[in-house]
Structure 1
Amino acid sequence: MHEFCQAAYIKDKEFMMTLDIAEKLLHKLKDWFEGLPASLLPKTIALPGQLQLHVYYYHLILAIFEPLLQKETAQEFRIREVIADAKKYLHTLVRLYYIRHGYDAMDLFIVIPLVLIASDCVEIVNDQMPTDQLELLRSTLILAATGLYNQRRNHYLAEALFRVILGRMRRPEVALLKDSMKLDEREWNERQGMAQAVRSHWPVSVVKKKEDLDSHILANLVENYAHLNVGQNSEDGEKC
């Protein structure tokens, strides 16, 4: 991660990563990954810490390659291929984590992949996609949102992120979320003042374009979305 940051932000905090540098970093990451001891290999991992290590590995790959999409290049297919593979494995790891451990116990590390996955689903879900793909995205979104909801009992960050994700979800997905778990709307209303308390400049998801940075800052996301709740009326298919 340190080497990536040095390569990516060497001039006035501008993103300076190139595909050549990204490929070299990916090669180093793969060498490290393939050299993991037997207890940390994909076929043997089971404990939260072991799963977290693999989650972080694929999250780092996304952090390296997703911003490259802002640049016009003949290698766009290669970039998208790496991103698609990393997201596929990240989704699998998050599901494995849930199956083995659930999301009730406090784990700050699982919050990051949950919000990344939920954000991706919110951005691309629509009624024009094939039914099987829509159902898969909805399933993934509900799983990630449920994880954030459970983690909000343990720390404030998950509370803020859950509100952001819920505020960005369309009404059909919110209805599915309500059907899958019990949302305490009384507690929800009691915490509406949270937006005034969030002053974080952390970019919640991987920012693909520098000009999009402000829209991904946690404080701005909370200000824009956290006041929206499950009881707000909106037309079907639109954001709540």
Structure 2
Amino acid sequence: MVELKTANELARMRVTGGFVAEVLAELRTKAQIGVNLLELEAIVRERIRQRGAVSCYWDYAPSFGRGPFRNTICLSVNDAVLHGLPFDYTLRDGDVLSMDLAVSIDGWVADSATTVIVGTPDAEDARLVRATEEALEAAIAVCLPGNRIGDISAAIAGVAHAAGYPVNLEFGGHGLGRTMHEDPHIANAGRAGRGYRLQPGLTIAIEPWFARGTDRVVTAEDGWTIRSADGSRTAHSEHTVAITEAGPQVLTRIG
């Protein structure tokens, strides 16, 4: 069931979104050569504790994971792109790190992800990261009342295909609000003009993610981390967006 939010509820989600954005911005500066993934996890855990927020990942146990998830952020390195389980790994020059954070504050959720290249960027990795960011912006631009979910999906796929990247349909965006995952599902490819009609008050997480060489994924031995099936590098960008009469509002963007 799709739940439309009031202006007051959107304001409360914006508070959560601001916190998520601030934590991810801090992590972007901390993700340096020689930093361990568990150090980044510890930072997030402490920020959540200080704010009195609640991690949406802690004790998360969906059907596709080997639950419960006992960390506060997903950290996915290189060929890993989604649900990366933080582990004892020290970042190296050229690593591609995707960071996905979802928290709840006073009962309202926001979800966002960003990808950084540690140290010296490989040109093709940088191109991949830019493609996910451009796909996200293209998707946000069509988040207008009267448009449909298919318009969002088509916008993402259009950027991916223009850049030469295949698109996986198993994992995509989703509604959110009182919980991390709500209706509707938002595939990263689809037909414009199809699907649920966007209405003011709808809040969704849009999350294009691509791999350089494949649209197929595999689950790592930890039971959580999703990797590209061919071992190619990956990237992931995500924002929480509200549909309003005045146009799309990005709730997880600083400024």
TM-score normalised by the chain length of structure 2: 0.26
TM-score normalised by the chain length of structure 1: 0.27
Higher RCO, 1 or 2 (CA under 8 Å, sep at least 6)?
Answer: 2
Greater share of strand residues, 1 or 2?
2
Tell which structure's C-alpha radius of gyration is larger.
1
Greater share of helix residues, 1 or 2?
1
